[in-house]
Amino acid sequence: MERFAPTERTTLKRLPKRGEYDRERVYAILDEAFICHVGFVVDDRPVVIPTGYGRLADVLYIHGSAASRMLRTLAEAIDVCVTVTLIDGLVLARSAFHHSFNYRSVVVFGKARLVTGAAEKMAALRAFTEHVIPERWDDVREPNESELKATTVLALPLTEASAKIRTGPPIDDDEDHALPVWAGVLPLRLATGEPVNDEQLQSGITVPRYVREYRRTKHDQK
């Protein structure tokens, strides 16, 4: 399995055994999450912005309004840090100190470039849509010329990245195991509700299969 080469920025200093550098596992986390947080410095001040994204092979794409200060700043090829986090469970220990989460997270470092080619830009926009709900792009109207002009897309190469993963039960102090307190893990998962039709939906249009049967991960389908 191909791995990311650990760097000074991606090497875990605390609890290094939770570090993960296998590219396939890092990509699986990116592909499951919906929102990333983009951190950068502008005017000597730190800024962190949540936004949607999409991945194609070894490139992470971020998009937004052409008027976005974040995208205009990142297009100048400044250093950026992108993070995503998935929470899989609440880890309830016998002591308050040892409460935790089971989680999967990814950190990506690099410099983004402005996407100017029409073909790559359209491919990125398709990736954004398919990242949220697969098969949707083929049903909807594609962006027109004015919409493309109003949208900025940035590409961040996935060359410096790592994951951090926690699984398993709480880790209590030995002397606390005799306390009369329940301890364990409360699993969490993303669940869908019943689809709600748009009030202006034309008659005869039914909910697509990929909406009715939507699941975020293969694990959710079990």
Minimum mean pLDDT among 12-16, 133-137, 164-168: which range? Answer: 12-16
Q: How large is the average pLDDT for residues 54-74?
A: 86
Beta pairing class for 151-157 and 79-92: unpaired
Per residue in 124-149, pLDDT tens? 999 999 999 999 999 999 999 999 98
What is the pLDDT, as a whole number, of residue 221?
A: 39
Kindly tell me the burial class for residue 134, based on how many C-beta atoms sit within 10 Å of its own C-beta (0-12, 13-18, 19 or more).
exposed
Q: Cα(26)–Cα(60) distance, rounded to whole angstroms?
A: 12
What is the pLDDT, as a whole number, of residue 1?
A: 58
For 105, the enclosing helix (H) or strand (E) is: strand 100-111
Residue 219 clears pLDDT 50, i.e. is over it: no
Give the residue extent of every domain in the chain. Answer: 16-171+186-216
Minimum mean pLDDT among 82-86, 136-140, 189-193: which range? Answer: 189-193
Comparison of pLDDT for 19 and 95, the residue scoring more: 95
What is the pLDDT, as a whole number, of residue 11?
A: 80
CATH of domain 16-171+186-216: 2.30.110.10
Average per-residue pLDDT for the chain: 91
Minimum mean pLDDT among 60-64, 140-144, 213-217: which range? Answer: 213-217
Any alpha helices (H) in the chain, and if so which ranges?
23-32, 69-74, 118-132, 145-149, 209-212
What is the pLDDT, as a whole number, of residue 220?
A: 44
Q: How large is the average pLDDT for residues 9-37?
A: 89
pLDDT band of 77, cuts 50, 70, 90:
confident
Residue 222 clears pLDDT 70, i.e. is over it: no
Please give the model's pTM, rounded to 2 decimal places. 0.89
